[in-house]
Amino acid sequence: MQYFTNHTKLLCFLLIVMAASVYGCNLVDSLSGEKDEKESTHIYPILLNEQWGYMNAEGSIVIAPSFDEARDASGHMAAVRTGILWGYVNTDSLKQVIPPTYTSASAFNDGLAPVHAEGKGFGFINKKGDLVIEAQYDFAASFSEGKAAVRADGLWGYINTNGTTIIEPKYSEARPYSEGLAAVESFNGWIYVDASGDEVIEPSFQLTSAGTFSSGLAPIETAEGWGYIDTSGNTVITPKYDEAASFSEERAWVRKDDYIGYIDPDETVIIDPQFSEAKNFSEHLAAVKIHNNWFYINRASGLLVITEGHTNAESFNNGLARVQIGDEEPRFGYINKAGEYIWYPSN
């Protein structure tokens, strides 16, 4: 560690108090919360001594563990729970900017987040905590492509970021928008609506479930199983799978009988079915379960590249992935793409 004279220590202390920018002083940087854009944007929830806080990509604590629950960040904001109430921390200032106020709080997208307060409906707040869309809904989902699904009187419709209703509540279920389309459940099964609310994909066969579009395809379920349609509603992969996920990085996991493998948009089998569970590719890696443990495979080769097993494993996000060890008293840590611990599992 760099040697500091008394004068330098005093100067660093004053700079911390004044919240001024300090360069070349790692100690001051970690205490003051002054981060570059990459560090301040990407923070990760950590559990330490049964309290949740946040670390940066280097594994240094940037928000001290003091919360009962902490979620991943979205839109430079992250929801945190104290007792039974939720508030938000800001990933740039590394401070709680919205106090615990809500019984439910979801992710920020398009600058807004759906929240619910005791005795009120769901509405939307901005990053200052101002209620900008009236709390008037039974339930509300986060925005996607400038539109959010909202439920009123038991039925779902969509609003825009101004709070204007663009699709009246008339569906029993509603999915987020993706590639300009959203899956909704009508009386006759699942269909797709466009940004104007027009029902543009109404297959001649009934869909018992429908997913989001990615790479121009969406997973759909019929009586014959899961397959895929394109944005025109044409069936491009015949329904025959027991389960199917949306595409990610031109790969989608599909289950046939007891095992999961991966296909590409042409339905070429890229990785043979061999996993009991699997997750989507993210940053060229995917978590897969073999027997009782989770590992990671590489998108290009399909081979295991992180071979240390974990009780559970999540997708990579900005170079790191959260992993779990143990079930009854789980410990959570973070690994990099080499499988090295950046944060050793703790609880």
Do the domain assignments include residue 1?
A: yes
Task: Write the secondary structure of the chain as one string of H (helix), E (strand) and C (coil).
Answer: CCCCCHHHHHHHHHHHHHCCCCCCCHHHHHHHCCCCHHHHHCCEEEEECCEEEEECCCCCEEEEEEECEECCCECCEEEEEECCEEEEEECCCCEEEEEEEECEECCCECCEEEEECCCCCEEEECCCCCEEEEEEECEECCCECCEEEEEECCEEEEEECCCCEEEEEEECEECCCECCEEEEEECCEEEEECCCCCEEECCCCCCCEECCCECCEEEEEECCEEEEEECCCCEEEEEEECEECCCECCEEEEEECCEEEEECCCCCEEEEEEECEECCCECCEEEEEECCEEEEEECCCCCEEEEEEECEECCCECCEEEEEECCCCCEEEEECCCCCEEEEEEC
Do the domain assignments include residue 308?
A: no
Do the domain assignments include residue 280?
A: no
pLDDT digits (tens, 9 = 90+) for 91-145: 999 999 999 999 999 999 999 999 999 999 999 999 999 999 999 999 999 999 9
Contact call for residues 182 and 190 (beta carbons, < 8 A):
no
- The pLDDT of 172-187, averaged and rounded, is 98
Would you state the pLDDT for residue 91? 97
For Cα atoms 135, 140, 143, give the angle at the middle one, nearest 5 degrees: 110
Total tally of structural domains belonging to the chain = 1
Confidence of residue 25 (pLDDT cuts 50, 70, 90): very low
Do the domain assignments include residue 321?
A: no
Do the domain assignments include residue 29?
A: yes
Residue owning tokens 């779990």: 324
**How many of the other CB atoms lie within 10 Å of CB of 128?**
8
Share above pLDDT 70 across residues of the chain, in percent, rounded to a whole number: 88
Whole-model pTM? 0.86
Domain extent at residue 3: 1-34
Do the domain assignments include residue 96?
A: no
Share above pLDDT 90 across residues of the chain, in percent, rounded to a whole number: 88
pLDDT digits (tens, 9 = 90+) for 59-100: 999 999 999 999 999 999 999 999 999 999 999 999 999 999
- Of residues 35 and 256, more confidence is placed in 256
Contact call for residues 249 and 281 (beta carbons, < 8 A):
yes
Would you state the pLDDT for residue 192? 98
d(C-alpha 150, C-alpha 173), whole Å: 10
Closest CA to 165 of 128, 204, 136: 136
Do the domain assignments include residue 256?
A: no
Contacts 24+ apart (CB under 8 A), 95-99: 95/33, 95/63, 97/127, 97/128, 97/129, 98/125, 98/128, 98/129, 99/129
Do the domain assignments include residue 25?
A: yes
Q: Is the confidence at residue 200, as pLDDT, over 60?
A: yes
d(C-alpha 39, C-alpha 241), whole Å: 42
Would you state the pLDDT for residue 28? 28
Confidence of residue 38 (pLDDT cuts 50, 70, 90): very low
Confidence of residue 4 (pLDDT cuts 50, 70, 90): very low
Give me the amino acid identity at 331: R
